[in-house]
């Protein structure tokens, strides 16, 4: 599931919380549904379309890796910063996991 509409992004920006790392910013907000949704915001200042799409693909796959460990019912927006241009898949997974841990978005292990 993805965030697509402008009003969905605005709702997360207005009502959500933020956790920050060197390469990405993660906004999150409860959505009242039984599933999570993900959206991306990557400025043209980061790079041309090939670079932006590469970053999007890497972080979408990294999100897919940790999705089963996340609490349900949230909207997420990932905003890429300039240092994300040279991110590897392993770095993206680690960074996204750490941001979710910092935001207390991971399910508790029993």
Model confidence at 110: pLDDT above 70: no
- CA 66 – CA 75 distance, rounded (Å): 15
* Residue 96 belongs to a domain: yes
For residue 92, being part of any structural domain is answered with yes
pLDDT of res. 2? 92
Give pLDDT tens digits for 69-97: 999 999 999 999 999 999 999 999 999 99
Residue pLDDT, tens place only, 15-57: 999 999 999 999 999 999 999 999 999 999 999 999 999 999 9
Domain span at 69 = 6-101
pTM: 0.91
Distance CA 74, CA 18 (A): 13
Does 108 reside within a domain? no
| Residue 109 predicted with pLDDT over 80 | no
End-to-end CA distance of the chain: 27
Establish if 107 belongs to a structural domain.
no
Q: Which residues contact 60 (CB under 8 A, 6 or more apart)?
A: 38, 40
Tally of structural domains, the chain: 1
- Flag whether 85 is in a domain: yes
DSSP letters, 19-32, are EE-SSEEEEEEE-S
């Amino acid at each position: 599931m993805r965030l697509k509409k402008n009003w969905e992004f605005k709702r997360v920006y207005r009502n959500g919380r933020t956790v920050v790392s060197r390469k990405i910013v993660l906004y999150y907000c409860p959505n009242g549904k039984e599933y999570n949704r993900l959206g991306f915001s990557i400025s043209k200042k980061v790079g041309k379309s090939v670079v932006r799409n590469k970053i999007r693909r890497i972080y979408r796959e990294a999100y897919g890796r940790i999705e089963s460990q996340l609490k349900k019912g949230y909207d997420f927006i990932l905003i890429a910063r300039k240092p994300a241009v040279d991110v590897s898949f392993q770095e993206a997974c680690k960074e996204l996991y750490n941001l979710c841990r910092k935001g207390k978005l991971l399910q508790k292990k029993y």
